[in-house]
A and B are shown apart, each in its own frame.
Chain A
Amino acid sequence: MTTALKLRELLRNGIHRIGELELLSDVYGFPYAICHMADAELATEPAFGGLEVHEGPNDARDLSTYGIDGTYRFTKGQVNLKRGWVMPLETEEDLRIALDQFYPACVGLFLAQQGGTLEIEMLRDKLNRQTGMYRFARSISDAGAQKLVQEVCGPAHQCAKKILWKLDPTTPLDDSEASRFNGIPSDLTEAESIPLLCREACNHFVAECRKAAKAEFEAKAAAEKQA
């Protein structure tokens, strides 16, 4: 069964949310529609409640590139999606294409997790594969990486993904709001919402690791100079 058909089954079984998106079925002649979860009620009113209509999946990337404050959404798990629009869709394949623009691969990651085939990538593996200016990121200490998770990840820092990775196979993340977050930026459960899964540290986190590693290196050098 294709990802699109599995997605259709999920919706028939009660799923109606992913991230900040409400997934609507059978709306004014369209099998599917998506909108910001805060606009869910408006979207079911006549003429989609006056929401700006973007028919088909092609505008999904434009709608998700900039946040509600106009800033570039450099990671797709950010909880700052624009409001005021609705996207009616003709097929489950179009729905899947649209969702893969808003939340890249997140439906597939969830299905793989459900099927027991999702492979998780540890932070050290990710950092050790960085090249060029990001190569320095691999020198961050464990303590520095743990601190960064609490300073960069989680809904308090605008990311709604559920972290699945550890520092390495034997070093789990310290307990925190970020490490505990379930990937659902609302009060719904997994019966109603597909969680956003973080199977590998994002490039924003890698960039922050590089900055922190440089700061650690400079602090150590300064301390040795003073000693």
Chain B
Amino acid sequence: MSIAPKPNSALLIVGHGSTENPDSSTPYFDHADEIRRRNLFAEVHCCFWKEEPSMREAFYLIDAEEVYVVPDFISEGYFTQDVIPRELNLTGPTTTVRGKTFHYCLPVGVHRSMTDLILKRAKDVAPRVDPATTTLIITGHGTGLNQNSTKAIRDQVDLIIAAGAGYAAVVDAYMEEPPFIAEWDQMSPTPNVVIVPFFISDGLHSYQDIPVLLGIEPEVGAAASQREVFRQNPHSLRGKTLFYSSAIGTERLLADVILDQVSDFDQLHQNP
């Protein structure tokens, strides 16, 4: 979907960030760079919950009077429904805060175009593998605290099955709630398994924690950018051939999904 330039508006990309992992915020800055390069907005900024600049500092980054806020999060849930609105003083889809008009868009992960990105990522990581002999697992964090955190992934599983992508099986799995990603081999009836982490960054969870749960690594290792060699696919484990991709958010095309959410906001709320 194309988006008309907004030369008088700012785009604010909101991420989680980390004080522990240097790679956690990389995709957000990459997405901002990509969108800035296209000269669609007067300004493009990032802000974070656990990194600088904070969401409350973001106000001091922005000159424009109109601001589109896009949560670069993979699901609707506690952060997008509670934390971000609270931190930015947003009370609805459009809120005026200290003289600026903020439009609050939906998070990238719930956009329908994520389905194509997942399929692209799955194909990229295992280009010569026949989907008919492959199980595609989309994995996320999962938490008993918020049902919405898994809904985005379950929706994607349904969409991929409905799209007829040809995979023998398409399933969801999580770190902290069943079905557990640690049991990936048991939920895969095929010799080949492709796992796509539904996270924004190759941070602590997708790059360090999940590989241990999969059996790729014996223990939590260094951050991706601090390793000399990125992991090589495939992995022969538990009698299967496993392909583990980098996080879906590291896909540069996610910048387009951010723009899609801005465009959808304008259409839904009839913003000119």
Inter-subunit contact B83/A105 (CB<8 Å): no
Inter-subunit contact B61/A204 (CB<8 Å): no
Q: Which of A2, A72, A203 contacts B50 (CB 8 A)?
A: A203
Chain A residues whose C-beta falls within 8 Å of the C-beta of B51 in the assembled complex: 203
- Complex interface residues of chain A between 99 and 113 (CB less than 8 A to chain B): 100-101, 104-105, 108-109, 111-112
Q: Report Cα–Cα, A118/B36, bound state, in Å.
A: 27
Chain B residues whose C-beta falls within 8 Å of the C-beta of A58 in the assembled complex: 33
- Complex interface residues of chain B between 8 and 63 (CB less than 8 A to chain A): 17, 19-22, 29, 33, 36, 45, 50-54, 56-58, 60-63
Inter-subunit contact B58/A105 (CB<8 Å): yes
Check if A171 is an interface residue, CB within 8 A of chain B: no
Chain B residues whose C-beta falls within 8 Å of the C-beta of A75 in the assembled complex: 19, 52
Q: Which of B53, B86, B223 contacts A105 (CB 8 A)?
A: B53
Chain B residues whose C-beta falls within 8 Å of the C-beta of A2 in the assembled complex: 63
Inter-subunit contact A72/B52 (CB<8 Å): no
- The distance from the CB of A180 to the nearest CB of chain B, in whole angstroms, is 23
Chain B residues whose C-beta falls within 8 Å of the C-beta of A105 in the assembled complex: 52-53, 57-58, 60-61
Q: Report Cα–Cα, A109/B58, bound state, in Å.
A: 10
Check if A170 is an interface residue, CB within 8 A of chain B: no
- The distance from the CB of B31 to the nearest CB of chain A, in whole angstroms, is 13
* Contact flag A72-B53 (CB < 8 Å), given A61-B29, A105-B58, A109-B60: no
Inter-subunit contact B63/A100 (CB<8 Å): no
- The distance from the CB of A127 to the nearest CB of chain B, in whole angstroms, is 14
What are 27 pairs between A and B in contact, CB < 8 Å?
Answer: A2-B63, A3-B61, A3-B63, A65-B22, A66-B22, A72-B20, A72-B223, A75-B19, A97-B36, A100-B45, A100-B61, A101-B29, A104-B57, A104-B61, A105-B52, A105-B57, A105-B60, A108-B61, A108-B62, A118-B60, A129-B87, A199-B56, A200-B56, A202-B52, A203-B51, A203-B52, A203-B54
User: How extensive is the interface on chain B, given as a class?
Assistant: 20 to 34
The 6 nearest A-B residue pairs measured at CB: A108-B60, A104-B53, A105-B53, A105-B57, A104-B52, A74-B19
Other A-B pairs, 16, CB within 8 Å; known A65-B22, A97-B36, A121-B56 = A2-B63, A61-B29, A72-B22, A100-B45, A105-B52, A105-B57, A109-B57, A112-B60, A131-B78, A131-B83, A199-B57, A200-B57, A202-B52, A203-B17, A203-B51, A203-B54
Check if A63 is an interface residue, CB within 8 A of chain B: no
Which of A3, A66, A105, A202 has most chain B Cβ within 10 Å? A105
Q: Report Cα–Cα, A58/B30, bound state, in Å.
A: 10
Inter-subunit contact A204/B19 (CB<8 Å): yes
- Complex interface residues of chain A between 24 and 39 (CB less than 8 A to chain B): none
